[in-house]
Amino acid sequence: MTDISGWKDKILFTPGPLTTSKTVKTAMLRDLGSRDFEFIKIIKDIRVKLLEAGQVEGKGYEAIIMQGSGTFSIEAVLSSAIPPDGINFIIINGAYGKRIAKICDILKIKTLIYECPENTTPDLKEIDSVLKKNNDITTVSVIHCETTTGIINPIKEIGEIVSKYKKTYFVDAMSSFGAVPADLDECRIDFLVSSANKCIEGVPGFGFILAKKQSLLKTKGMARTLTLDIYDQWEGLEKNGQFRFTPPTHSLIAFHQALMELEQEGGVESRGARYKLNYQTLIAGMRKMGFKEYLTPEDQGYIITSFRYPLNSNFNFENFYEKLNKLDYVIYPGKVSNADCFRIGNIGRIFPTDVKALLAAIHNVLDEMEVSLL
């Protein structure tokens, strides 16, 4: 038998999979049948709690859980909710916006792209003007927290414009949902996607879609795939509470526990407040050591922060990463396309004390590498 008594978790300062609580991990030590009454009750509970987290319980929205990572749920929405002759207007300021465009290319969905620099939020006037000029646009897609940099896009303001032109509005809120409060109805969102292993602090295994029911009903019969059909998936869950195909039972049980822990923490606002504290602790410490953030503070969200590589010839990211990893701190490589950066996530079951411990480790590693920033 494997002896797990000596196992020690590393602390993940990543955007997911991320550090989870011991109770969330322990919840997975159960085998439940996917058609078991208890499991069906768990699924029902999860779906209600997700709507609560999006502030739309009882407001004409539905929660659909989809097997796979978050991208599967994004692909599910794009391939189910955009009509064959539709046009997806994609607002891009990072790698995840580009991924939506790539999925559309593969699905042969026509797109219209508005790309702005990765360190700026999109210009609302430009969005309005594109929608005014292109009446054949059916859908508008945007990322909420573009995890490439950590920038937060103004989904409510964009939603007002999208609704003025009566288009379908899709938001990828993968790394923000559960920690950056947003009332989906107020933001005029038709479809929002996030996943288990982000701010709700569950383990990987599935994503979920929060859909305005009216918009969801229109997707009937439109899906390009069997497995990612959001209408059929929803109908199955509604009919008998079950999944059409094998669900990740253990990660769903863990997620149920994670949602209860979100409630115990005080809900989305309180979770956001803890992450904000993590973020403030992080940037204060990093700035003190001489690191510079990629974004200006006005655009920087509290989910994840991109730091520029220090201008010191002794600095080598792989080496830096490995040394921190040996000390049990996992940070994240950069994704910004035009600058050398690395990222540190503020989300997951981590607290300011963990961030302070990471900062001390970074200080020691820099000393060891003979990298002076000041």
Ligand X SMILES: Cc1ncc(COP(=O)(O)O)c(C=O)c1O
Name the site residues for ligand X (rule: CB under 6 A): 15-16, 69-71, 96, 143, 147, 172, 174-175, 195
Q: Least distance (Å) from ligand X to the CB of residue 47?
A: 19
Joined tokens for residue 116:
């702005």
Tell me whether residue 155 or residue 359 sits nearer to ligand X (CB atom).
155
Integer Cα distance of 97 and 313 in angstroms: 33
Integer Cα distance of 344 and 304 in angstroms: 6
Question: Closest Cα partner for 151 from 302, 363, 316, 308?
Answer: 302
8-state DSSP, 293: B
Tell me whether residue 172 or residue 293 sits nearer to ligand X (CB atom).
172
Q: Are 252 and 259 in contact (CB under 8 A)?
A: no
Integer Cα distance of 362 and 227 in angstroms: 44
Q: Least distance (Å) from ligand X to the CB of residue 207?
A: 7
Integer Cα distance of 261 and 245 in angstroms: 28
Tell me whether residue 86 or residue 204 sits nearer to ligand X (CB atom).
204
Q: Least distance (Å) from ligand X to the CB of residue 197?
A: 7
Q: Is 33 exposed, middle or buried (0-12, 13-18, 19+ CB in 10 A)?
A: exposed
Integer Cα distance of 110 and 84 in angstroms: 9
Tell me whether residue 279 or residue 365 sits nearer to ligand X (CB atom).
279
Q: Least distance (Å) from ligand X to the CB of residue 271?
A: 17
Q: Least distance (Å) from ligand X to the CB of residue 349?
A: 17
Tell me whether residue 40 or residue 199 sits nearer to ligand X (CB atom).
199
